[in-house]
C-alpha cells in the first residue's frame, strides 16, 4: 500500500500548528486572544490548526473548555484551515465523549494520543483507538509520543490500526525515521512530523506535513520548508531548516514548548499574556533572554 499525501492534505492540511491556548492571568480562556491567534496563523500560511493538544495544555483543559476552544477556533477559521481537536486521554470512555463533543463543536478531524500513564499493552492501544475512531465520522490522526505517554505505538500496531477506515494519519513524535518509512511503505497512513527539530528529514522521507510548535509564530517559514521539499529543492529546504536551528532550540529545549511559544507570541504582540496553568510555569529570565536572542538573530528571509 502507498501513502495518499494529497488526500491527507484535504483531511488535515500540510502546514499544521499545535496551537497554544491563550489564557488570562487568572487562568481562564482568553477568547479575544484565541481569535487574534487564529487570524495570525491563517495569515502566516497555516492550513491545519491542532487545538487541545499537548501544546494547548490539554491535561489541564476541562471538557467544557475544550469544546469552547474548538467552537471558537472553528468560528474564526471559517473553513480556511482544518481544525483538528485533541481528544485523547488515558480513559477510553472520556476520550469517546470528547470525540463526540469535538464533532458537535465543528472539528474537522481528531488527534488521538496513545493512552498515557496506565501504559496499556499494544492490544489495549488498538482497542482504545478503534473505540474512539468508531465513535464519530471524523478522520483520526494518531499521536505517537512515547516520551510523554510512557509507551510507544509499535509499527505492527500502526499497521493494524491503518485498516480502520477513519484512522488516516500519524503525528510522529517518536523520532524513529526508519520505522516511519516502514509504516509509510506498508500502509496508507499519512505521516506528520511532530518534532520541530526533525521537520526536514521527515518531509524528505515522505511525510505529508508537520505539526509544529514553532509554527505558532513561524508558520510561514514552515510553509517555505514544505514547499521546498515538495518541489525537490532540498538545498533550499536545508537553508530554511538551518535558519531555524537557534529558534527551535530556544523553544523546544528550554522550559517547554507551550511555555516558550506563548512567550514568543507575547513578545510579538499576537497574544496579551504568556500565562500557563500549573504544573507548567512561565519561563525564567534566562530562557526568555535566550528566546529573545534567537528571535533577534533569526533572518525573516532566506
* Catalytic residue annotation: 143, 171
Enumerate residues 6+ apart whose C-beta is below 8 A from 235: none
Distances (CA, A) of 245 to 46, 203, 222, 239: 20, 16, 12, 10
The C-alpha atoms of residue 215 and residue 36 are separated, in whole angstroms, by 15
The C-alpha atoms of residue 173 and residue 160 are separated, in whole angstroms, by 19
The C-alpha atoms of residue 197 and residue 195 are separated, in whole angstroms, by 5
DSSP SS3 for 29: strand
Distances (CA, A) of 109 to 23, 81, 193, 224, 256: 24, 11, 17, 25, 26
Enumerate residues 6+ apart whose C-beta is below 8 A from 15: 45, 46, 47, 48, 209, 210, 212, 215, 219, 222, 223, 226
For 146: left if phi > 0, alpha if psi spans -120 to 50, otherwise beta; the answer is: alpha
Distances (CA, A) of 135 to 96, 116, 203, 243: 6, 20, 31, 43
Cβ-in-10-Å burial (0-12, 13-18, 19+) of 76 comes to buried
The C-alpha atoms of residue 209 and residue 115 are separated, in whole angstroms, by 24
Amino acid at each position: 500500500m502507498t501513502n495518499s499525501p494529497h488526500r491527507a492534505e484535504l483531511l488535515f492540511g500540510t502546514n499544521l500548528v499545535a496551537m497554544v491556548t491563550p489564557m488570562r492571568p487568572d487562568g481562564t480562556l482568553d477568547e479575544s486572544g484565541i481569535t487574534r491567534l487564529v487570524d495570525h496563523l491563517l495569515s502566516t500560511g497555516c492550513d491545519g490548526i491542532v487545538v487541545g493538544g499537548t501544546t494547548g495544555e490539554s491535561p489541564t483543559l476541562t471538557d467544557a473548555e475544550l469544546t469552547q476552544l474548538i467552537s471558537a477556533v472553528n468560528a474564526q477559521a471559517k473553513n480556511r484551515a482544518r481544525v483538528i481537536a485533541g481528544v485523547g486521554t488515558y480513559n477510553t470512555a472520556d476520550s469517546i465523549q470528547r470525540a463526540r463533543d469535538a464533532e458537535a463543536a465543528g472539528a474537522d478531524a481528531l488527534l488521538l494520543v496513545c493512552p498515557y500513564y496506565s501504559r496499556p499493552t499494544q492490544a489495549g492501544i488498538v482497542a482504545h483507538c478503534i473505540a474512539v475512531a468508531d465513535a464519530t465520522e471524523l478522520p483520526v490522526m494518531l499521536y505517537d509520543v512515547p516520551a510523554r505517554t510512557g509507551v510507544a505505538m509499535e509499527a505492527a500496531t500502526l499497521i493494524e490500526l491503518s485498516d480502520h477506515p477513519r484512522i488516516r494519519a500519524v503525528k510522529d513524535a517518536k523520532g524513529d525515521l526508519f520505522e516511519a518509512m516502514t509504516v509509510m511503505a506498508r500502509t496508507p497512513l499519512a505521516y506528520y512530523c511532530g518534532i520541530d527539530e526533525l521537520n526536514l528529514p521527515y518531509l524528505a522521507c515522505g511525510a505529508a506535513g508537520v505539526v509544529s510548535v514553532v509554527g505558532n509564530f513561524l508558520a510561514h517559514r514552515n510553509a517555505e520548508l514544505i514547499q521546498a521539499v515538495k518541489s525537490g529543492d532540498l538545498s533550499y529546504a536545508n537553508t530554511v531548516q538551518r535558519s531555524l536551528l537557534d529558534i527551535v532550540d530556544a523553544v523546544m529545549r528550554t522550559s517547554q514548548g507551550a511555555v516558550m511559544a506563548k512567550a514568543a507570541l507575547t513578545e510579538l504582540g499576537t497574544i496579551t499574556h504568556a500565562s500557563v496553568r500549573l504544573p507548567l510555569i512561565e519561563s525564567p529570565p534566562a530562557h526568555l533572554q535566550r528566546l529573545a536572542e534567537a528571535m533577534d538573530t533569526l533572518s525573516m528571509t532566506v
